[in-house]
Amino acid sequence: MKVTFVQPVYENLGIQYLSAVLKRSGHQTEMVYDPRLFNDMKVENAFLARYLQMDDWVLDRIVASHPDIVAFSIMTDIYGWSLRLARRLKKRLDIPMIWGGIHTTSVPEYVLANDCVDYIVVGEGEQAFLEFVESYSRGAVDCSIPNLGYKKNGRLIINPVRPPLENLDELPFPDKELWFEATRPMKRIRYTVMGSRGCPCKCTYCNASFIKTLYKDYPQTFLRYRSVDNLMSELTQAKQRWDIVDIFFNDELMTARRRWFEEFMTRYAEEIALPFYINVHPVNLDDKLISILENANCCTAVLGLQTIREETRKLVLHRKYSNQKFADIIDRFSRSRIFLIINIILNLPDQSLEEMKEIAIFLAEHPGVDFATPFLLRYYPKTEIVEIARQRGLLIDEEIEQLEKTEDYNPFTMVGKKEDLRVLKVRNLILLTPLLPANWILWLARNEHFKYIPNIDLFQLSCRLTAFSRRVFQQKIYVSETFTIPQYLRHILHYLRKKFVYCMLGRI
């Protein structure tokens, strides 16, 4: 059987694992990639995006791949894009279309109700998807497969989920060919990998809060780790095969199991030693762990502050740590070679503008932060923070239904509502904290002068200037999890050429 995956913009490890599982069983796979130029969550320009959209090219490529099955693995942000393509594709191909991914898992009934969706897989999909493909190859889909959703006599039926795969070493290594072929013009290769699945934290804004509910009957197997030998084997093979420049550890929280992590870092430092990017958490960070990261060649660490008021963190976000603990961590990182990124969320339930300004003040008073990334809260379907907002009267049932079934993607919005311009200006103030003297930030924040900051998105500019200054003056290297500027420009030019050839000559 031939399965064609459809994917835009970002690397999807889930697709790579599905492809590897299928290939191991003798099936064929291909991935059709849509770059979504100027609408790719990096650079947003509505006019250029509309003029340069490549839907026709993508559809022709899918058809030309001669698939037996087409598969979409989707996040909420690309739900509308996926539906737009699938509806047009359904008119051209009379074959099953199966959907998975976190959005499908969160609101399976809404996804499956679409005419262009024939089947869905909820939760972890490697076993269920393989069983679906193999049963279909025998002539009829086995509708008893756990995790599978389907339609019967006008009804939507979603089967119970199976336990999560306990031994992650049973999985083949992800099929990186799919991604590297699609992003070949970037040349510089960043290798994305995961050593674990699941998360021990209970952050209300994260999809993990819902996934834990989905697997509530299997709590003992929710957080799982690959063996150190298995993970090292993948990285060693990757280093030998690809011209890898750095590693992106995409785990929710790789450091959760300390003994495992220390063993892995020791071997990584000896056998791989490439610069890497990793997510960390303040609860289990200490001097020893930061030293381990530094010795293993960690160049970039991401740490979530989210907001400055401890009560908000505890009651709204379910993150329990003190500001003093966080300040001590910042101080320790400031004495390392690691580029420290702090994640922040603005527009939390009942969060005042004053609290948002206090975040900028805190960062100005603790200059060890190399870059602050202030996100504007987006309520994602079935996350716990949605219920918190409903209980506080900030969301009504109709709005919750809207965010669960909406096809619109609105960057930096909540349920389609445009944000207060003052919030966007505070966001820019936070983005400027690594670049401006601390007393300037304090003056802007305490005297309401931040209102004079231009109302434009300063994220990319601030990020690049900060990375440059830290490299030059502190010898810190920002290992971005996304494209560098030269990579991104090559990426755009490559697909502009494809767009031109397609429009002029009709060649895909």
Structure tokens that stand for 36 in this block:
């979504």
- What is the model's pLDDT at position 59? 95
Is the confidence at residue 102, as pLDDT, over 90?
yes
Instruction: Give the chain's mean pLDDT.
Output: 91
pLDDT confidence bin for 209, thresholds 50/70/90 = confident
Strands 148-152 and 244-249: unpaired
| Fold for the domain defined by 2-166 | Rossmann fold (3.40.50)
Can you tell me whether residue 383 is helix, strand or coil?
A: coil
Q: Which residue has the higher pLDDT, 104 or 45?
A: 104
Residues of the chain with pLDDT > 70, as a percent, come to: 96
Is the confidence at residue 21, as pLDDT, over 90?
yes
Domain residue ranges of the chain, discontinuous segments joined by +: 2-166, 189-200+221-377+407-483
Which amino acid, one-letter code, is at 441? I
- What is the model's pLDDT at position 417? 47
pLDDT confidence bin for 415, thresholds 50/70/90 = very low
Is the confidence at residue 481, as pLDDT, over 80?
no
pLDDT confidence bin for 411, thresholds 50/70/90 = very low
Q: How far apart (Å, rounded) are the C-alpha atoms in residues 354 and 148?
A: 47
- What is the model's pLDDT at position 410? 57
Q: How far apart (Å, rounded) are the C-alpha atoms in residues 456 and 465?
A: 16
Residue 151: φ, ψ to 5°: -115, 140
Residue 346: φ, ψ to 5°: -105, 155
Is the confidence at residue 77, as pLDDT, over 70?
yes
- Strands (E) in 112-216, as ranges, are 119-121, 148-152, 155-158, 189-193, 196-197
- What is the model's pLDDT at position 236? 97
Is the confidence at residue 46, as pLDDT, over 70?
yes
pLDDT (tens digit, 9 = 90+) per residue, 461-475? 898 899 888 888 888
Q: How far apart (Å, rounded) are the C-alpha atoms in residues 236 and 233?
A: 5
Q: How far apart (Å, rounded) are the C-alpha atoms in residues 372 and 363?
A: 8
- Strands (E) in 359-499, as ranges, are 371-376
- What is the model's pLDDT at position 483? 64
CA neighbor of 437 nearest in space, from 394, 408, 469: 469
| Fold for the domain defined by 189-200+221-377+407-483 | Transcription Regulator spoIIAA (3.30.750)
- What is the model's pLDDT at position 27? 97
Number of continuous H segments (helices) and E segments (strands) in the chain: 21, 15
Residue 87: φ, ψ to 5°: -65, -40
Q: Please, are residues 2 and 109 in contact by the beta-carbon 8 Å criterion?
A: no
Region 34-52: mean pLDDT is 84
Q: Do domains 2-166 and 189-200+221-377+407-483 have the same CATH topology?
A: no
Region 431-459: mean pLDDT is 91
Which amino acid, one-letter code, is at 267? R
Q: Which region among 210-219, 371-380, 387-396, 439-448 has the lowest average model confidence (pLDDT)?
A: 210-219
Can you tell me whether residue 494 is helix, strand or coil?
A: helix
**Burial track 321-340 (b if 16+ CB lie within 10 A, e otherwise):** beeeebebbbebbeebebbb
Q: Which region among 16-25, 69-78, 169-178, 489-498 has the lowest average model confidence (pLDDT)?
A: 489-498
Q: How far is CA 390 from CA 36, 374, 398, 407, in A?
A: 34, 24, 11, 21
The pTM score is 0.93
The terminus-to-terminus CA distance of the chain in angstroms comes to 23
Region 189-198: mean pLDDT is 92
Is the confidence at residue 272, as pLDDT, over 80?
yes
**Alpha-carbon dihedral sign for residues 18, 23, 29, 33:** positive
Q: How far apart (Å, rounded) are the C-alpha atoms in residues 13 and 2?
A: 19
The size of the chain, in residues, is 508
Can you tell me whether residue 371 is helix, strand or coil?
A: strand
Can you tell me whether residue 48 is helix, strand or coil?
A: helix
Q: How far apart (Å, rounded) are the C-alpha atoms in residues 40 and 36?
A: 5
- Show the DSSP H helices in 76-168 as ranges: 79-90, 102-106, 108-112, 126-137
Is the confidence at residue 351, as pLDDT, over 70?
yes
- What is the model's pLDDT at position 331? 94
- What is the model's pLDDT at position 205? 93
Is the confidence at residue 271, as pLDDT, over 70?
yes
Region 285-307: mean pLDDT is 95
- What is the model's pLDDT at position 461? 87
Tokens 């103030």 sit on residue: 429
- What is the model's pLDDT at position 413? 41
Cα 165 from chain centroid (whole Å)? 21
CA angle 272, 16, 214 (to 5 degrees): 105
Q: Kindly state the DSSP code that residue 171 receives in the 8-state scheme.
A: S
Q: Which residue has the higher pLDDT, 418 or 92?
A: 92
- What is the model's pLDDT at position 448? 87
Structure tokens that stand for 2 in this block:
């031939």
